[in-house]
Amino acid sequence: MKNLIVFDMDGVLVDVSESYRAAIQATVLHFTGTEPTNDDVQSWKNRGGFNDDWKLSHRMIQELGEEVAYDDVVERFQKIFLGDRENGNAGGLILRERWLAAEGLFDRLAANHTLAIFTGRLGWEAQLTLDRFAKEIFHPVVGVDHVSHAKPHPEGLHKIREQVPHGKAWYLGDTVDDARASRAAGVPFIGIAAPTSPRRDELVQLLRNEGAIAVLEDINSLEAVIGDTHS
């Protein structure tokens, strides 16, 4: 019987420091003239409740004293992130994403595990990246538009568990909200805190406080944590 591993996407499967994180910085800069540091963004993430990068960008803009309509923030963010195709810019920061898994990791894991995703991305935006790096590996893929309550609500994990009810389960994530969703769902949580992430010590402590059974530098050391639990 296969066990289940559920992955968060950003910061776990994909390095988004040059994409989503940079899009937050560029969006805030656009509306306020002030560019927040990576460290600023991380400190908001560490507070919890800001898994949604649109919501976070909007809040950071407000915090800098500018009143901008939420929809305008979303529109600008999406142009920076996906490119502005109508105006001849098909690029966008999404192209700077980096896939983090080493060759062969998911082939080995898939032998004994069902691999799934629970992400704060929209489903199609998750698929865009999966099509580039890892087609046909993860089932199901639950995005924010597949649930009525976003993280830290555990709905997405419950949904996946309904489809894959057998065996043990783990959830891997890189934020406080991921850890909270996991705890609320009763699924053991494994934290990821990249060596390059700002405020790393604080993040490690936060993830441990939220019940992480381990905090890893990246997913490539995952097998050492779950390796003894196949039986």
Positions touching Mg ion (CB under 5 A) are 8, 10-11, 174
Whether 139 contacts 132, CB under 8 Å: no
Residue 67 parent element (H or E): none
Segments of 72-164 assigned E as strands: 98-99, 113-118, 141-142
Nearest-approach distance from CB 23 to Mg ion, in angstroms: 14
Nearer to Mg ion, 31 or 126 (CB): 126
Nearest-approach distance from CB 6 to Mg ion, in angstroms: 12
Nearer to Mg ion, 155 or 174 (CB): 174
Nearer to Mg ion, 49 or 112 (CB): 49
Nearer to Mg ion, 14 or 26 (CB): 14
Nearest-approach distance from CB 110 to Mg ion, in angstroms: 22
Strand 98-99 vs strand 14-15: parallel, antiparallel, or unpaired?
antiparallel
Nearest-approach distance from CB 230 to Mg ion, in angstroms: 26
**b/e map 65-79, b = 16+ CB within 10 Å:** eeebeeeebbebbbb
**Distance of alpha carbon 70 from alpha carbon 51, whole angstroms:** 16
Sign of CA dihedral 211, 217, 218, 220: negative
Nearest-approach distance from CB 153 to Mg ion, in angstroms: 15
Nearer to Mg ion, 31 or 207 (CB): 207
